Structure 1
Amino acid sequence: MRNASPLPNGFVLTTDNSAGIGEKKNDVVSTPDEIVSYFAARVALLEQWAAGANPLSIVVHNFSGSQSWNKYITGIKKLFNEIGINCPEITGSSETNMETLQSAIAVTMLGEIVTVKNKDVRWYVYGKPSVGEEVIRNSEKIANLKKIREAVSLGLVHQVWPVGSTGIKSECERIGINAHLAEWDLEKSAGPATTVLLGIDRMKENEAKLHFGHYFETIS
């Protein structure tokens, strides 16, 4: 996690990748290609939001073969459709010279900074850490990106910080806060950013609790 790279003139580059997950015979985890690209794009998008940016274009690096390209694109477009925003233009390339034994994909986003972070917030954790098959089996427990986007638009959320494989505790330490959640596994991997730390406007905490509902707890 934390794959955001600031560029000159207010641009931000984010990326996420996966290997051995997909539809090939030798993949470690058997999952439709659409789902693989959906979650890779989810991570890259959250990294954009964490940097206060919105994506302008998307590049897909497809090492799974030409037969996976359209499925990958469908998964990415599905993500943006669910959130309710237009999908940026998608470009990229596919490995067609060599047949790989396992699936592999990288999704990279180029975005532009549009918001300035507000540090006067109270931090909450949203979405239960999930990894592997749990991501699909417990989809109702993971952070909903549409709700996050709406909360940002409403002024409830001022900062976004996705949690990945290092877990909640590690990411909290990176932003300088202590995590105290009695019933949550603070060290469990959150996989493809199934958990997100949110900086909530202190004057709108009750409104935020109503907006996010379940799996939304204060940590500071």
Structure 2
Amino acid sequence: MRNALELVGGLVVTTDNSGGIGMKEADAVHAPDDLVGYFTARVTLLEQWAAGAEPVAVILHNFAGDASWDDYLSGIRRVFSESTLGMPPISGSSETNMEMLQSAMAVTMVGRRCREVAQSGGSWFLYGRPLVGQDVIREPEKCAELGKVKRALDGELIDAVWPAGSGGIGAEWLRLTGRPLARWPAGVDPAASAGPATAVFVRAVPGKEAEASDHFRDYFDEIE
């Protein structure tokens, strides 16, 4: 598991947050609230998959005021739509006593483990490219597609998922494997932040590497 908390009975809790990104004047990065909700929920879902779980409930923590709630919720729903998952029950809270100068929110998911993360000797691939800030908005075609990842899991083309974060793919690879990254796609900076998990490590089921490559196609490269 990456950042998940496993509870008794196979329950898995994952979370991600966003601060200073939104539509408030003082925000460091200006982006629509629905996009912020989407990318925050995206990371939280990928953490569920990394733990071999699927979400059964969602909690939205909104510090940006009531006006942002519906847009955040719209972004969260888009994550489940793209992933071909049913939308689980969602609840949460908005900060309305104090007005924040910058936007802030978080998404927590409670999931249930539904598959064991195999300890196979399959090859690892990088799907997507590290992006952060405005590059996430400018280059959406480089973001790993949730639907493709989910279909690859369901079709048993891949048996493990590991989202990359702000430390970059080099730090993430070291954390995942315990060894330095020795091979990565040309033009990619291993230290560059992958922001809201725009890049994801996936492990191909042994013997299905070519199938996986045909399935993911663009921005899909073997690493080691």
Find the aligned partners of 1:151 and 1:171 in 2 and give their Cα distance.
21
Residue 175 of structure 1 is matched in structure 2 by 176
Find the aligned partners of 2:222 and 2:91 in 1 and give their Cα distance.
39
CA offset at residue 178 of structure 1?
4.3
Residue 192 of structure 2 is matched in structure 1 by 188
| Structure 1 spans left out of the alignment, 5+ residues | none
Question: Deviations for 1:139-193, whole angstroms, at most 9, x for unmatched residues?
Answer: 0011111000000011001000000101111111112154212512111100000
> What SS does the aligned partner of 1:47 have?
helix
Pick from 194, 203, 219 the counterpart of residue 215 of structure 1.
219
Q: How does 1:24-173 map to 2 (within 5 A)?
A: 24-120=24-120, 121-173=122-174
CA contact (8 A) 1:125 1:196 kept: yes
CA offset at residue 6 of structure 1?
1.1
Question: Deviations for 1:20-59, whole angstroms, at most 9, x for unmatched residues?
Answer: 1101111111110000010000000000000000000000
Q: Which moved more, 1:124-133 or 1:181-190?
A: 181-190
Q: Percent identity?
A: 49
Point out 4+ residue stretches in structure 1 off by more than 6 angstroms: none
CA contact (8 A) 2:66 2:95 kept: yes
> What SS does the aligned partner of 2:192 have?
coil
TM-score by length of 2: 0.95
CA offset at residue 3 of structure 1?
2.9
Q: Check if 1:203 corresponds to 2:213.
A: no
Question: Deviations for 1:94-136, whole angstroms, at most 9, x for unmatched residues?
Answer: 0111111111001000000000111212111110100101111
Find the aligned partners of 1:175 and 1:147 in 2 and give their Cα distance.
22
